[in-house]
């Protein structure tokens, strides 16, 4: 029997990976994994505290280990952290077990989603959150685009529309 494949959602912080991923997983009856949530559960610490106490590199190591592990348990719907694409091994592992779907959004929409959220260490300690989002998004867009098997521009879509598009992909891939 052919093994079903994972769908890994990548995209910038606050674009909606977790919200959309959870609904898709219910819709297609696949398990859902949010890598940040798993890291928080495993360490008993918030992402902010991990960055504060141990630094970003340590967080990236936990993220790398987890990407390796989840590749072994398809079919999953995976909401990744926005920086997962910075590491080639993560991309390889995610591709090995499934397809990568880039949820593309605009800095304006992302800012609207997370302007009042203080759970993102990379956006803390900045005077101008919008400028920081724009800068990081510009840096990362080539990486998101390079790794994506599919890109869904969700910037003008309602959540339900995004869910339907990605769920359709899931069925195309997994039959």
If one asks whether residue 81 binds ligand S3P (CB under 6 A), the answer comes out as yes
Q: Which stretch binds ligand S3P (CB under 6 A): 89-97, 115-123, 144-152, 158-166?
A: 115-123
Q: Does 122 bind ligand S3P (CB under 6 A)?
A: yes
Cα 44 to Cα 59: distance, rounded to the nearest angstrom: 13
Triad 142, 158, 152: Cα angle to 5°: 30
Q: For residue 170, what are the contacts with CB-CB under 8 A and spacing of at least 6?
A: 7, 24, 28, 30, 77
Residue span 24-63 as binding mask against ligand S3P, x where in contact by CB under 6 A, dash where not:
------------x----------x----------------
The least CB distance from residue 27 to ligand S3P, in Å, is 20
Is 83 one of the binding residues for ligand S3P (CB under 6 A)?
yes
Between 28 and 66, CB nearer to ligand S3P:
66
Specify the residue, 113 or 164, whose C-beta has the smaller distance to ligand S3P: 113
Q: Judged by CB under 6 A, does residue 22 bind ligand S3P?
A: no
Any idea what DSSP says for residue 122? G
Phi, psi dihedral angles at 78 (to 5 degrees): -115, 125
Query: Whose Cβ is closer to ligand S3P: residue 55's or residue 168's?
Result: 55
At closest approach, how far in Å is the CB of 171 from ligand S3P? 25
Tokens of 165: 């598009």
How far is 47 from 138, CA to CA, in rounded Å?
Answer: 23
DSSP label at 103? E
Q: Is 164 helix (H, G, I), strand (E, B) or coil?
A: helix
Three-state secondary structure call for residue 91: helix
Contact 74, 29 (CB under 8 A): no
With binding defined as CB under 6 A, does residue 68 bind ligand S3P?
A: no
Binding site for ligand S3P (CB under 6 A): 13-14, 17, 36, 47, 81-83, 120-122
């Amino acid at each position: 029997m052919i093994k079903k494949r994972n769908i890994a959602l990548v995209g910038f912080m606050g674009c909606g990976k977790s919200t959309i991923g959870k609904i898709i997983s219910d819709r297609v009856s696949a398990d859902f994994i949010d890598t940040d949530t798993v890291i928080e559960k495993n360490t008993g610490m918030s992402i902010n505290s991990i960055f504060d106490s141990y630094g970003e590199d340590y967080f990236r190591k936990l993220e790398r280990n987890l990407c390796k592990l989840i590749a072994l348990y398809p079919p999953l719907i995976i909401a990744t952290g926005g920086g997962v694409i910075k590491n080639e091994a993560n991309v390889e592992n995610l591709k090995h077990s499934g397809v990568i779907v880039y949820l593309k959004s605009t800095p304006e929409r992302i800012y609207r989603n997370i302007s009042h959220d203080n759970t993102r260490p990379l956006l803390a300690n900045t005077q101008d959150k919008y400028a920081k989002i724009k800068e990081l998004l510009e840096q990362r867009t080539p990486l998101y685009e390079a790794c994506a098997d599919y890109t869904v521009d969700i910037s003008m879509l309602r959540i339900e529309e995004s869910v339907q598009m990605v769920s359709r992909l899931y069925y195309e891939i997994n039959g």
